[in-house]
Amino acid sequence: MVGWISHPGVPISSGSLISTPLFQPYASFVPYINAAIVLTLGYNTASAIGNIIYHSMREVADHSQASALRTISKIGGVAVLLSLLTSVFGINPSAALTLGSFSGLVIGFATQTVLTHAAAGIFLVISRPFKHGDLVTLSGQTGFVKEIRLMHTILRAEDGKKEILIPSGSIVGATIIKGLEVHGQEGDVNR
């Protein structure tokens, strides 16, 4: 991965750099250095792509939808990054896939409730049964929709004194009662 280091007129590859007596004691650290470079560049790239998606979606969607898509794209980027890291360490790809599948199964069972809420949150963001500013009753709680996140929806109570967090999984299968639509900070009510 580090083989592209060069100076104008003097090409230097990582192999020739490490073969010099000065760097010979540190040759065993090369895979870790390569992994650190891949990890840093990969995470920054995944974050940049997520931010590009967020800002381009903000022109056509609200904050909740754009933020959810940014999170999903970052998770996908990290998954690709982990597969790249296995190749940096020279791990057999089929063994890595087998281990990843088994780990995914164990983690999936352990975090079933969390994954249920995340999947329900994605459904809420895509289907948009309500939006920011709507007066709704969800799971017996009434308030104005402040924000729709993957894991929960935040309602501002009608009295404005408290925030109510309702898990996304409990919203998807429940009855949603919509009231008047409110836009703006002060509550400009449209009928």
Q: What is the pLDDT of residues 92-142, one digit of tens each?
A: 777 777 877 888 888 878 878 888 888 888 888 888 899 888 999 998 889
The pair of three-digit structure tokens given for residue 155, joined into one six-digit string: 């309602």
More confident residue, 92 or 52: 52
Neighbours of 177 (CB within 10 A): 12
Which residues face 177 on adjacent strands?
A: 137
CATH 2.40.30.10 fits 129-186, yes or no: no
With CA atoms as reference, report the closest residue to 42 among 95, 88, 5, 4: 88
% the chain with pLDDT above 90: 16
Query: What residue spans in the chain does CATH classification 1.10.287 cover?
Result: 6-110
Confidence band of 12 (pLDDT split at 50, 70, 90):
very low
Region 6-110: CATH code: 1.10.287
Sign of the dihedral through C-alpha 113, 114, 119, 120: positive
Cβ(50)–Cβ(74) below 8 Å: yes
Q: Is the backbone of residue 97 left (phi > 0), alpha (psi -120 to 50) or beta?
A: alpha
Give me the phi and psi of 171, to 5 degrees please: -85, -40
Confidence band of 173 (pLDDT split at 50, 70, 90):
confident
Q: Does the pTM exceed 0.85?
A: no
pLDDT, position 44: 93
Query: What residue spans in the chain does CATH classification 2.30.30.60 cover?
Result: 129-186
More confident residue, 47 or 185: 47
CA distance 118 to 167: 9
